[in-house]
Amino acid sequence: MNTLLDRRKYVIGAIIVVLTLIFLVKLFFIQVVNTRYKVSAEHNSQRHQIEYPARGLIYDRYNNLLVYNQAAYDLMIVPREVRTFDTLDFCNMLEISLQQVRDNINAAKKHSWYKPSIFLKQISAITYAKLQEKLFKFPGFFVQTRTLRKYPQSTAANVLGYVGEVDERITQRDNYYKSGDYTGISGIEKTYENDLRGRKGVTIYLVDVHNRKQGSFQEGKYDTVAVSGKDIMTTIDAELQAYGELLMRNKIGSITAIEPSTGEILCMVSSPSYDPNLLVGRVRGQNYRILSQDTLNPLFNRALMAQYPPGSTFKLANALIGMQEGVVHRNTSYSCSGPESRPIRCSHNHISPIALIGSIEQSCNSYYWKVFNSIISNPKYQNTEEGFQAWRSYFLNLGFGSPVGADLFNELGGNIPTVQFYDKYYKKGGWRPMTIRSLSIGQGEILVTPIQLANFTATIANRGFYIKPHIVKQVDNLALDSQFERKESHIDSSAFELVVEGMGRVFDGDHGTARWYRLPEIPMCGKTGTAENPHGDDHSIFIAFAPRENPQIAVSVVVENAGFGSTWAVPIASLMIEKYINRTVERKGIEDRMTSGNLISKK
């Protein structure tokens, strides 16, 4: 009996020893070998807070600030750390409803129980100050600092663009972004997003049981510093941009101005526009809906995306091509009256027959039908298709038919019709120069954008070349000039000199279509255009550059549904030239008529 009891005692003792050893080994493994529980415990007492970098600032060409940052605060939530709290006090302080609290908590839980997410975006500095005093009462919540964009001059909205929250498509494409982050949506903010956004940092804080910060974790050993985005200097002249927007008030259209020698865009006015501050902060969503539903479409950048028939401004291109092809010379004359004027009659009364320089001065339609016909029917080409293809190649070389900008967002390319288009429409061999005669005066299937017209004007000002138009001059003090290539035309400079002479007569000639707006101290060159519009009144178009020698500015103006080019587009362009070169405007009567003119009320 005693022997049996002794055996049982040893067995039980052995079992106890084995179990003790198992627990000791397990405890050693948990505490020393496996760090998973240690990390979990540390995470229970830590908060990993993303430090968002300040976006780069944006300046105009003279270092005037166009965009800067102001502090904003996001209220964050970690659902698993949330405990019962005073919802009435919480709602009153944040000025939200109880239902909104419930909805936001549920949304956060769907995102993650363990990871922080945004509970309420962009609370004000006043609300943030109140919240800081009471944050210990609301476990699971903390505040994260961000920055919002601020536009001190409230201009150039379509150029600068705006910043908005990323969607799932962006987060999947670029792992830099997480849900709730912001990115450039349009304009410079989008095109130069990688430069402007900077680099995120992270700060690890120790927190107590009430989720209050107790200091940095291990004295910041594992923290990383946020790196601010790069500052950008644009090519925009803020004063000229604001003046252009003033002139285009209550009108639909655009003004685009380029420095010919560099391709730098001096202003890009799209009207109607909007105050870019409307798309900042918690009101952004509401204001975006209002703007996007506006029938005048202020979010649409007409300088880059609107496409129009160029009207008589295209006569200059046909003159250049005709001279290069050898079918037109300075003294080539055509009649624009009687049977010889057909099939396109001239809309202006002038001496007939008329030669090249006079045809530009007085914008003779009949002259340019004959030039166009001579180009397409040139005996050196075997047929109409071959002649037309040669004509079209010149236009592509001059920057039409495709986007011309190097750093512009959403630019459209217009349309220079193809041989294949006419073969399909009229059947192969079924069309002749007479069939497509409207192309001779910039109508028909031709479509151009205002930026293309301004670039074409710069090409004439340069006597045969252009630098790709661009909107940014420097990134972080690094000049970008060398990145924008020079494009040579396939037309001799001598042809451009004759066209420049004709454009000078548009202002200085006795019968020039812009003679009422000449400036004696600034030799200007220009060309009027009236683009036919099947949906309403014709569009008023004008292109110009100045001074005639060593030009400083090339400009295109389009005023929709405004009639003849000389009515609205010419005076606006001349005022823009005067403003840029003289830095002031003396012709207050013309200025007052342009700024007070309301063409939208008629729509």
Query: Is 264 inside a domain boundary?
Result: yes
- Note the pLDDT of residue 33: 55
Percent of the chain predicted with pLDDT > 90: 64
CATH number of the domain within which 576 lies: 3.40.710.10
Same domain? 197 vs 255:
no
Query: Is 181 inside a domain boundary?
Result: yes
pLDDT at 338 over 90: no
> Who has greater pLDDT, 12 or 299?
299
244 Cβ contact list (under 8 Å, min separation 6): 255, 257, 267, 269, 576
Same domain? 152 vs 86:
yes
Same domain? 135 vs 229:
yes
Joined together, the tokens standing for residue 393 give 């190649």
> Who has greater pLDDT, 143 or 393?
393
Same domain? 227 vs 156:
yes
Same domain? 324 vs 438:
yes
- Note the pLDDT of residue 78: 87
Among candidate residues 234, 265, 290, the one where a domain is terminated: 234
Query: Is 33 inside a domain boundary?
Result: no
pLDDT at 37 over 50: no
> Who has greater pLDDT, 199 or 337?
199
Query: Is 322 inside a domain boundary?
Result: yes
pLDDT at 283 over 60: yes
pLDDT at 210 over 60: no
Residue 115 β-bridge partners: none
- Note the pLDDT of residue 284: 87
pLDDT bracket for residue 179 (50, 70, 90): confident
pLDDT tens-place string over residues 54-91: 999 999 999 999 999 988 888 999 888 888 899 999 99
pLDDT at 122 over 90: no
pLDDT tens-place string over residues 408-419: 888 999 999 999
Tell whether pTM > 0.75: yes
Q: Is 266 left (phi over 0), alpha (psi -120 to 50) or beta?
A: alpha
Same domain? 253 vs 183:
no
Same domain? 362 vs 469:
yes
Same domain? 105 vs 252:
no
Same domain? 252 vs 223:
no
User: Is 190 within 8 Å of 184 (Cβ atoms)?
Assistant: yes
CATH number of the domain within which 121 lies: 3.90.1310.10
User: Is 311 within 8 Å of 483 (Cβ atoms)?
Assistant: no
Query: Is 31 inside a domain boundary?
Result: no
User: Is 188 within 8 Å of 320 (Cβ atoms)?
Assistant: no
Query: Is 251 inside a domain boundary?
Result: yes
Same domain? 256 vs 171:
no
Among candidate residues 183, 209, 234, the one where a domain is terminated: 234
Q: What is the mean pLDDT of the chain?
A: 89
Mean pLDDT of 224-250: 96
User: Is 252 within 8 Å of 272 (Cβ atoms)?
Assistant: yes
- Note the pLDDT of residue 538: 86
pLDDT at 289 over 70: yes
Alpha helices in 377-477 (DSSP H): 384-397, 419-426, 450-461
Range of the domain at 270: 238-276+301-596
Strand 253-259 with 478-479, pairing = unpaired
pLDDT tens-place string over residues 506-565: 999 988 889 999 998 999 999 999 887 777 788 899 999 999 999 999 999 999 988 776
pLDDT at 12 over 80: no
pLDDT bracket for residue 602 (50, 70, 90): low
Among candidate residues 182, 202, 234, the one where a domain is terminated: 234
Number of domains comprising the chain: 2
Same domain? 229 vs 264:
no
pLDDT tens-place string over residues 239-273: 999 999 999 999 999 999 999 999 999 999 999 99
pLDDT bracket for residue 463 (50, 70, 90): very high
Collapsing DSSP states into helix, strand and coil, what is residue 488?
strand
Mean pLDDT of 483-489: 92
pLDDT bracket for residue 44 (50, 70, 90): low
Poorest-pLDDT segment among 300-309, 368-377, 592-601: 592-601
pLDDT bracket for residue 36 (50, 70, 90): very low
How far, in Å, CA of 51 to CA of 46, rounded? 15
Query: Is 541 inside a domain boundary?
Result: yes
- Note the pLDDT of residue 41: 47
- Note the pLDDT of residue 29: 64
Percent of the chain predicted with pLDDT > 70: 91
254 Cβ contact list (under 8 Å, min separation 6): 248, 268, 269, 270, 271, 302, 303, 306, 450, 556, 557, 558
pLDDT at 437 over 80: yes
Poorest-pLDDT segment among 108-117, 133-142, 309-318, 516-525: 108-117
pLDDT at 175 over 60: yes
Query: Is 308 inside a domain boundary?
Result: yes
- Note the pLDDT of residue 221: 79
- Note the pLDDT of residue 6: 61
Same domain? 172 vs 250:
no
pLDDT bracket for residue 600 (50, 70, 90): confident
pLDDT bracket for residue 40 (50, 70, 90): very low
pLDDT bracket for residue 389 (50, 70, 90): very high
Poorest-pLDDT segment among 27-36, 268-277, 377-386, 587-596: 27-36
- Note the pLDDT of residue 21: 76
Cis bond before residue 310 (omega within 30° of 0): no
- Note the pLDDT of residue 536: 75
Poorest-pLDDT segment among 32-36, 172-176, 422-426, 442-446: 32-36
